[in-house]
């Protein structure tokens, strides 16, 4: 007969933060052992705060994947940064990622004044994660650890590779060290609070990042207009892609609609893999002039 665990149950919120394109979404997917956050090689892919839940016998870790911390240039970016900052204010622990594989101009990775100020204002304990450690020469690791220990901002410094999932077991043990004793915050059989519609819209947007170049992914928003589960038939999904200019609409659709058809095929396959059931996906493109700079549109698309 199994004896009940004598360990105290721990539960809390853990915010994953950092600059754009440092591996935050890849890390959350690795910690959850499933893909919830969309991923692309391009910066600023994440716009929303994505919540993912890891359940264990003696813990529940609620991860918050956040947009990259930048100096915003327009209203959408301001909304994204506010989302990240709010998560930092309301969390039990911060995992701050630093990409050590590609420092600017060959210098050592560093924190600018803006990021340093944000971290100083954050009351929760902070762990610094050196991501992509497999791409850093071993001789450079100890000096780097020493430099960041001197800042006094971080309780622990943890080398990891989010993509290869190296160091993640150690990271989980450190997270539990800092989480409070608490009852579960969510039912133990769910992995997120977001509805399927949210993830479907994100998957379509991810495919836009993967299929198109230049400004198209950054100018596009995706709304799910219709989502119907149909007994004995494929689920029906109608997704609306909103861009800022007629020229962007033309690029999205492509000659004879071929580009949009290719996008739809890739998105449908990814959605079916996520949902675990077949779907019929229909895509529609429309123009909303300069929506990224219009507060009303930003709110309507769920970014504020």
- 102: pLDDT strictly greater than 70: no
Same domain, 165 and 266: no
pLDDT-based confidence at 103, cuts 50/70/90? Answer: low
pLDDT in tens, 278-287: 999 999 999 9
Q: Is 61 domain-assigned?
A: yes
Same domain, 246 and 160: no
The answer to whether residues 12 and 62 touch, using CB atoms and an 8 Å cutoff, is yes
Lowest mean pLDDT among 95-109, 145-159, 182-196, 205-219: 95-109
Order of all β-strands in the sheet with 279-287: 221-228, 235-243, 279-287
Mean pLDDT for 30-46 is 95
**CATH number of the CATH domain containing 112:** 3.40.50.300
In eight-state DSSP terms, residue 55 is E
- 4: pLDDT strictly greater than 80: no
pLDDT in tens, 196-209: 999 999 999 999 99
Q: How is residue 257 written in tokens?
A: 């609609």
**Last residue of one domain, picked from the residues 143, 178, 213:** 178
pLDDT-based confidence at 143, cuts 50/70/90? Answer: confident
The predicted structure's pLDDT at residue 288: 96
Q: How is residue 254 written in tokens?
A: 């492509």
In the chain, how many domains are there? Answer: 2
pLDDT-based confidence at 128, cuts 50/70/90? Answer: very high
pLDDT in tens, 237-272: 999 999 999 999 999 999 999 999 999 999 999 999
Same domain, 135 and 222: no
- 77: pLDDT strictly greater than 60: yes
pLDDT in tens, 209-224: 999 988 999 999 999 9
- 76: pLDDT strictly greater than 80: yes
- 156: pLDDT strictly greater than 60: yes
> Max alpha carbon distance in the chain (Å)?
68
pLDDT in tens, 48-73: 999 999 999 999 999 999 999 998 99
Q: Is 4 domain-assigned?
A: no
Q: Which domain holds residue 285?
A: 196-300
Same domain, 157 and 295: no
**Last residue of one domain, picked from the residues 146, 178, 210:** 178
Q: How many CA atoms lie within 13 A of 183 on its CB side?
A: 2
Mean pLDDT for 217-235 is 95
Q: Is 190 domain-assigned?
A: no
Reference 23, options 166, 156, 151, 153; nearest CA is 166
Same domain, 72 and 209: no
Distance between CA atoms of 304 and 302, rounded to whole angstroms?
6
Q: What percent of the chain has pLDDT over 70?
A: 95
Same domain, 164 and 220: no
Q: Is 185 domain-assigned?
A: no
**Last residue of one domain, picked from the residues 122, 143, 178:** 178
Q: Is 189 domain-assigned?
A: no
């Amino acid at each position: 007969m199994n004896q009940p665990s004598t360990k105290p149950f721990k539960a809390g919120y853990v915010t994953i933060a950092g600059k754009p394109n440092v591996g935050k979404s890849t890390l959350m997917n690795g910690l959850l052992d499933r893909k919830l956050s969309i991923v692309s090689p391009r910066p600023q892919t994440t716009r929303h705060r994505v919540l993912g839940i890891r359940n264990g016998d003696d813990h529940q870790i609620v991860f918050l994947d956040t947009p990259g911390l930048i100096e915003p240039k327009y209203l959408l970016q301001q909304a994204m940064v506010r989302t990240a900052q709010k998560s930092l204010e309301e969390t039990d622990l911060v995992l701050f990622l630093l990409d050590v594989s590609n420092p600017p101009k060959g210098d050592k990775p560093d924190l600018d004044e803006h990021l340093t100020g944000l971290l100083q204002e954050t009351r929760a304990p902070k762990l610094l994660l050196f991501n992509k450690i497999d791409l850093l020469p071993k001789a450079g690791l100890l000096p780097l650890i020493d430099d960041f220990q001197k800042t006094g901002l971080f309780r622990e410094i943890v080398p990891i590779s989010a993509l290869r999932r190296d160091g993640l077991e150690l990271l989980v043990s450190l997270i539990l060290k800092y989480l409070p004793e608490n009852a579960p915050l969510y039912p133990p059989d769910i992995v997120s609070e977001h509805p399927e519609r949210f993830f479907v819209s994100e998957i379509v947007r991810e495919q836009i990042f993967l299929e198109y170049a230049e400004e198209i992914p950054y100018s596009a928003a995706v709304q799910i207009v219709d989502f119907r589960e149909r007994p004995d038939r494929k689920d029906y999904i109608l997704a609306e892609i909103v861009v800022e200019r007629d020229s962007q609409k033309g690029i999205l659709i492509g000659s004879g609609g071929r580009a949009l058809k290719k996008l739809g095929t890739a998105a449908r396959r990814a959605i079916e893999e996520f949902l675990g059931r077949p779907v019929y996906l229909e895509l529609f493109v429309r123009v909303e002039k300069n929506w990224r700079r219009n507060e009303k549109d930003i709110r309507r698309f769920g970014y504020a």
